[in-house]
Amino acid sequence: MRLAAPARLGLRAVALAYLLVLAGLPVATILWQTFSPGWATFWSWVTTPAAISAFNLSLAIVAITVPLNVVSGVLTALALVRGRFPGKGVLQAVIDLPFAVSPIVAGVALITLWGSGGWFGFAESAGFQIIYAIPGMVIATVFVTMPFVVREVEPVLRELGDSAEQAAATLGAGPWQVFWRITLPSIRWGLTYGVVLTIARALGEFGAVIMVSSGFPGVSQTLTLLVHARYLDDHNTYGAYAAATVLMGIAVLVLALMTLLERLRSRP
Query: Model confidence over 57-83: pLDDT tens digits?
Result: 999 999 999 999 999 999 999 999 988
| 85 or 224, higher pLDDT | 224
What's the pLDDT at 171? 78
Give, in degrees to the nearest 5, the angle at Cα 139 between 144 and 145. 20
Q: What is the mean pLDDT of residues 127-137?
A: 88
What percentage of the chain reaches a pLDDT higher than 70? 96
pLDDT tens-digit readout, 223-266 = 999 999 998 888 888 889 999 999 888 888 887 887 787 777 66
What's the pLDDT at 9? 76
CA distance 158 to 70: 18
Does the structure show a pLDDT above 70 at 93? yes
Does the structure show a pLDDT above 70 at 200? yes
pLDDT tens-digit readout, 140-177 = 999 999 999 999 999 999 888 888 888 888 878 778 88
What's the pLDDT at 3? 56
Q: What is the mean pLDDT of residues 171-200?
A: 87
CA distance 102 to 47: 32
pLDDT range class, residue 268, cuts 50, 70, 90: low
CA distance 63 to 70: 11
| 123 or 183, higher pLDDT | 183
Does the structure show a pLDDT above 60 at 178? yes
Q: What is the mean pLDDT of residues 92-108?
A: 90
Does the structure show a pLDDT above 70 at 211? yes
**Cα distance between the two ends of the chain:** 31
Q: What is the mean pLDDT of residues 215-220?
A: 85
Does the structure show a pLDDT above 80 at 85? yes
Does the structure show a pLDDT above 90 at 179? no
Does the structure show a pLDDT above 60 at 2? no
